[in-house]
Amino acid sequence: MAEYLGSLFGGEKEQAPVVAADDDFAEFATPSVVTPSPVGTLSSIPSISAAPTAPPSSFNGPWYAVWERASPSDFKFEGYVAILLCFVIGAHVWGTKRNRAIARKFITSVTPVLAQEFAYIGFDPQGRANTTDTAPADFNPQTALKENHPLEFVSYASGRQNIAFMHTTIKLQRRNNPVAWIGESLISFLFDSLPPPGDNAVITISPFDGQDSGKQGGGYNSKFDNFVWALVNKRDMKRWRDERYDLSLTTTKDWDGLPDWLAVMSESKEIGDTVLFKELKDAVADCQNVLEYLIVTDQPIDKPLTLEQTTPKKRISLKISLPSDEKSAAAIPVLLSAFIRLVDHLVATAHFRPEVLRKVKSVREDEIRKLQKVADEEKSEERMLKRDEEKKSERDRKLRGMTADEQKKFLEKEREKEGKRAMKKQAKRA
């Protein structure tokens, strides 16, 4: 302190001895020079520098005048979100309308055929006949289709000899969801096992199969024999054989009078010769881009797991693609007409020789025997479990009625019996 006061009032101070510093600490060895300031001046007091303040806002308008204190560049993110929402909503609206237009176009193209074959089409609330022999009478196109959702539409027809009803399911592409639509297309492109997305219709006829003959069994009888027969486009033949149990019972052959792109899947050659009549041959000739399969079956699509599922139930199914070109679309009504009249042909001719039916029944009986064996094994296991539970409950009941000494003797006898059984098993194995 004395030295500091001396320096302030002009006094001299002694020089501090110079100490040689190591080169590694030369930077820290040199003392920093402190410039003294005059006592009593404001500069001698340390000051804290204030943070820079933002310039005052020049907006003096009302609080709600957002347009005066903001610019469009402040809402870039909101603009991108609005554009994305407009795209999603617009794509959904366009895809939904497009799918509806495709479904209505298809049902309109086949309406003349349906009106000629059936007395009732669609979902008329009154449930009365709405067609004539040649054209729709009171038929309303709006009631012909029912929209389950934007990807699926259904239709219904009834009122015909030999046919209880015909159900149509139209399944369309995901045009209302572009992301899923593009994803399905890419996945099908990368994996050959997955079909590309497309528009198709599955038409299923349920025949009366003799139920229209009356309770007394007299009069007209629409019954025909049980069998599996199919016309399949070779493009997807392997997929249908793998996916459908009923087609796995058949053998595949090329057939005279059919195009090269078609294959016949049948349980017997005689069945194939009987089912394939001339009108159907002519109808499928121009349907390469339309026909996927035509199946007459009495077996389930999925492999039966119980005996109840093996009960025969006749169905005649037609799956077609809905093409965009007019030439292929014009072949659909002709094919549908032959498909409907196939039922009449089956009722008249599908009554086969006993030798043929014996071969057909043998395949079904083999499957029934396998299921019966599995069912018997399951019942046997259930009986054993039930018997074990009864023995255990009887043992517990006996133990509860014994004293401690009696329980001890009872458990010792059980252990002796278990030991004897184990020794017998070992002796048998040896």
Residue labelled with tokens 């297309």: 185
Here the contacts of 36-43 (C-beta below 8 Å, separation 24 or greater) are 36/7, 36/8, 39/8
What's the chain's average pLDDT?
81
DSSP 64: T
pLDDT, residue 422, reads 82
pLDDT, residue 129, reads 66
Label residue 181 exposed, middle or buried (CB < 10 Å: 0-12, 13-18, 19+). Answer: middle
| Sequential pLDDT tens for the chain (430 residues) | 455 444 544 444 444 444 444 455 444 445 555 455 444 444 444 444 444 554 555 666 677 777 777 788 888 898 899 999 999 999 999 999 999 999 999 998 998 899 889 988 888 766 666 665 544 445 566 678 899 988 999 999 998 999 999 999 999 999 988 888 888 888 888 887 788 888 999 999 999 988 876 655 556 788 999 999 999 999 888 889 989 999 988 999 888 889 999 999 999 889 988 999 999 999 998 898 999 999 999 999 998 888 888 888 999 999 999 988 888 889 999 999 999 999 999 999 999 999 989 988 888 888 888 888 888 888 888 888 888 888 888 888 888 888 888 888 888 888 888 888 788 777 777 6
The CA distances from residue 363 to 82, 100, 297, in Å, are 63, 44, 14
Residues 332-366 pLDDT 10s: 999 999 999 999 999 999 999 999 899 888 888 88
Spatial CA neighbour of 345 closest among 222, 220, 208, 165:
222
Spatial CA neighbour of 119 closest among 105, 107, 137:
137
The pTM score is 0.72
φ, ψ of residue 125 in degrees (nearest 5): -60, -30
Residue type, 132: T
Reported as type and span, the H/E element at residue 146 is: strand 146-149
pLDDT, residue 166, reads 95
Spatial CA neighbour of 372 closest among 312, 307, 303:
307
